[in-house]
Amino acid sequence: MKPTVTVSIVSHKQIDLVAELLADIRDYCKDEALELILTLNLPEVMPFSVMSGYAFPFKFIHNRLPQGFGENHNQAFKQASGDFFCVLNPDIRVGRNIFAPLIEALEEGGHIGLVAPRVIHPDGGVEDSARHFPTLGEILRKVIGCSSRRSPLEPGNIVFPDWVAGMFMLFPASVFREIGGFDTRYFLYYEDVDLCARLRLHGYRVALCQDVTVIHNARRTSHRNLKYLRWHVTSMLRFFMSGSYRGIRHMPDKK
């Protein structure tokens, strides 16, 4: 049977987190037709238990050299056979069948190119995973300690932010293919912003399904690493100089 959803997970020596996520999917999403593509971006030993006891098929990619976020998921998409393509970080945990309601939102929402769940912290707080497109003024306000222009979580199940964070993204495979996937010039950071901007330029909406929640058990060590800061600044500047940013700046506000 053809899988409905292809799930792409990339591990950066995070196989323990991957094992926990796969156990969640096994326990709560067993009625879905899934296939999973696991990319090992760095060499690591994968215990047999990671693959055991699952009804859905696995595909594995072992990178010879580390690749960026977008490039990893784009190469996984080349092997995907599902009608939908899900980008999923290893540090996400789920506690219910997340795919069925998200697919329903995609199919009933009207020209939606991407849907994401509401993301919460382990302590129950709502994560800032859905926002307005960034502006240079907003970046300056953040530098001096002012709050960002994040999208308010309005009442209702489906809301339409400008962009959602790349920790969990579900696309119709045809839409991901149409826009060319992620821009691989972004090694890390802002590739999710850029992709959502290109969706907007292609006439698609980005949706957040607030009735579906996942837990983001983030490991924030990268915030203290100058290499990651350099990637962040480089990607931010690339976005502000991109055709995607110029395009959305001249589009009318969404209704």
Domains contained in the chain, number? 1
Q: Which of 26-40, 53-67, 100-114, 139-153 has the lowest mean pLDDT?
A: 139-153
pLDDT band at 64 (very low <50, low <70, confident <90, very high): very high
For the segment 137-167, what is each residue's pLDDT rounded down to a tens digit?
777 766 666 655 555 566 678 999 999 999 9
Q: Which residues of 208-225 are buried (b: 16+ CB within 10 A; e: fewer)?
A: bbbebbbbbebeeeeeee
52 has a pLDDT exceeding 80: no
Is residue 90 one of the residues assigned to a domain?
A: yes
pLDDT single digits (tens) 183-210: 999 988 999 999 999 999 999 999 999 9
The confidence score (pLDDT) of residue 146 equals: 65
We report the CATH number of the domain holding residue 42 as: 3.90.550.10
pLDDT digits (tens, 9 = 90+) for 225-240: 778 788 888 999 999 9
Containing domain of residue 85, as a range?
5-249
Question: How would you class 102 by CB atoms within 10 Å of its CB: exposed for 0-12, middle for 13-18, buried for 19 or more?
Answer: buried
Has residue 68 been placed in a domain?
yes
DSSP bridge partners of 23: none
pTM for the predicted model, two decimal places? 0.91
**Residue 254 falls within a domain, yes or no?**
no
**124 located within any domain:** yes
Domain for residue 159, yes or no?
A: yes
Residue 204: inside a domain: yes
Q: Is residue 255 part of a domain?
A: no
